[in-house]
Amino acid sequence: MVDLRSDTLTKPTAAMLAAMASAEVGDEQYLEDPTTNELQRRTAELLGHEAALFLPTATMANQAALRAQTTPGSVLLAEERTHVLVYEWGGPAVHSGLIMRGVPAQAGRVRPDDVAGVLDPDLGPGGIVVLENTHRSSGGRIWPLDDLRATAGAARERGAAVHLDGARLFNASVAAGIEPSAWATLADSVTICFSKGLGCPTGAILAGSAALIERAWESKYLFGGAMRQSGVLAAAALYALDHHVDRLDEDHARARRLAEGIGLDPAGVETNFVAIPDPDGDVEARAADAGVLLGHLRPGWLRAVTHLDVGDEDIDVAIAALAPQLVNTV
């Protein structure tokens, strides 16, 4: 089986496990875990923010970011199939009492007009706009800097905070040749996920101002995400920063080759996702019969995701297996 369901399927490499095994550790909650402290220092710098906080998952990082910057009853605005709205189990409503408003948007890019239309200062205070880069449900699409700047500006004009869900920000950065801080500094807070293409078993970073990170600590305790010798996990993240970022362009090249090989336009592949139309809902089962596992992208669409554990031969096998299944679909 060639498994292209998700880039979360990566398993830690032997070298990553060795880095984890030899990590210097202490009690994170006493601020005495040197490896976690180093990861937080390094990612804050990389993202152009004052401070950063290590959390077990990017879901928790997103939820902590929302809770740190909103009051109950205010509005969360995002593209309608954004991760925080669709895949976080109602967390913004449960943890922060937010009204969740989704708007349709091309390539996941909420526009300034959408913000102006939804965030009415007369109807309540503040609020928060969540922007996702790369945008998962549109197929790993990248936000152009100017677009993100304009939408973030519209949010601020209405007194709303801006959170960037950059779970795959490094994919955007490597593909576009733009520093991650260029996007990250346009937002008040930013999440990075280490368990996608970066290949870690788990782990995420939330970055923002020192005051925001102080508030996020409250959620880290409240959600049960305050750890102890977390340096074992932070060591995997540090290893990934050194060894698994630059190589993301291999994943992107393989995704483009896969798209081309199955008759899709490779220009539509911006990072490590290939969006595969599935209008009749039978492609997933037919692909599985042919030996290829695909994931769900959005209604009517599947995804093939490349990552650290998908090699050139896997792409050859996937093309040979999928091309005949898709003749009448794409």
Interface ranges with ligand PLP (CB under 6 A): 57-59, 62, 83, 132, 136, 165, 167, 193, 195-196, 204
Please say which residue, 190 or 321, places its beta carbon nearer to ligand PLP. Answer: 190
To the nearest whole angstrom, how small is the minimum distance from the Cβ of residue 121 to ligand PLP?
28
Mutual angle of helices 169-176 and 248-261, in 10-degree steps: 80
> From the CB of 44, what's the least distance to ligand PLP, in Å?
19
**Whether the Cβ atoms of residue 260 and residue 324 lie closer than 8 Å to each other:** no
Compare residues 2 and 204 and give the one whose CB is closer to ligand PLP: 204
State the CB neighbour count (10 A cutoff) for residue 62: 29
Whichever of 59 and 189 has its CB closer to ligand PLP, that residue is 59
Rounded CA separation 48/173 (Å): 14
**Smallest gap from residue 327 Cβ to ligand PLP (A):** 31
178 three-state secondary structure: coil
**Nearest-approach distance from CB 194 to ligand PLP, in angstroms:** 8
What's the token pair of residue 183?
């996007």
Q: Which is nearer to ligand PLP, 36 or 59 (CB)?
A: 59
Nearer to ligand PLP by Cβ, of 127 and 166: the residue is 166
Q: Where are the beta strands (DSSP E) in 234-321?
A: 273-277, 292-298, 301-305
Nearest approach in angstroms of CB 92 to ligand PLP is 13
Q: Which of 268, 279, 260, 269 is nearest to 319 (CA)?
A: 260
CB of 167 to ligand PLP, least distance (A): 3
Residue 313: half-sphere exposure toward Cβ, Cα within 13 Å = 2
Among the listed residues 205, 169, 264, the one whose alpha carbon sits nearest the alpha carbon of residue 62: 205
Of 190 and 262, which has the nearer Cβ to ligand PLP?
Answer: 190
